């Protein structure tokens, strides 16, 4: 399993930013109230960041101490970390799209809306960083028994 690339995170953030901007534009064009995220959403993102680090910490500890750990446990922790980093990138982009639309309007936005979007962006960035750190925690050393599979044609008597 390869680590999450920065390119994927940037693309997701840009797409989500466009989606957030488009959502606000469509809401405004239809005469509805613009979307403002709840202040509980940043708290939830920070809890997910803490959970991701908390699940990955025992894997790191076992790797450092040399104690063998169940690879499926490490895989679950790495999967949670990857999903968290993707979610963080999407939420940061979405919040940035909402904020760009709000600040591009001729009307001065309410302070509460701006603070909620800045809190969303900040907590989403913290989630991405925590998830990438957790993903690094889940990097297991190569097992000496796990060698690359050989080509069947190079084996004696095999291949034909």
- In sequence order, the 6+-apart residues with CB closer than 8 A to the CB of 117 are 36, 37, 95, 98, 99, 102
| pLDDT, tens only, 2-47 | 788 899 999 999 999 999 999 999 999 999 988 888 989 999 999 9
pLDDT tens, 35-86?
888 989 999 999 999 999 999 999 888 878 878 888 888 889 999 999 999 9
pLDDT at residue 86, as a whole number? 97
Q: Please report which confidence band the pLDDT of residue 111 belongs to, taking 50, 70 and 90 as the band edges.
A: confident
How far is residue 55 CA from its own chain's centroid? 15
CA distance 159 to 112: 69
- Mean per-residue pLDDT over the chain, rounded: 87
Q: In angstroms, rounded to a whole number, what is the distance separating the alpha carbons of residues 73 and 143?
A: 16
């Amino acid at each position: 399993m390869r680590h999450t690339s920065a390119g994927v995170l940037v693309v997701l953030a840009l797409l989500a930013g466009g989606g957030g901007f488009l959502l606000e534009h469509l809401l405004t064009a239809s005469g509805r109230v613009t979307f403002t995220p709840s202040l509980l959403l940043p708290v939830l993102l920070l809890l997910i960041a803490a959970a991701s680090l908390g699940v990955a910490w025992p894997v790191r500890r076992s790797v450092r101490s040399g104690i063998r750990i169940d690879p499926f446990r490490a895989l679950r922790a790495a999967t949670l970390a990857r999903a968290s980093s993707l979610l963080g990138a999407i939420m940061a982009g979405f919040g940035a799209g909402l904020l760009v639309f709000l600040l591009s309007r001729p009307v001065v936005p309410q302070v509460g809306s701006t603070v909620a979007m800045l809190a969303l962006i900040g907590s989403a960035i913290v989630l991405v960083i925590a998830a990438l750190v957790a993903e690094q925690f889940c990097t297991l050393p190569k097992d000496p028994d796990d060698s690359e599979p050989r080509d069947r044609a190079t084996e004696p008597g095999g291949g034909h």
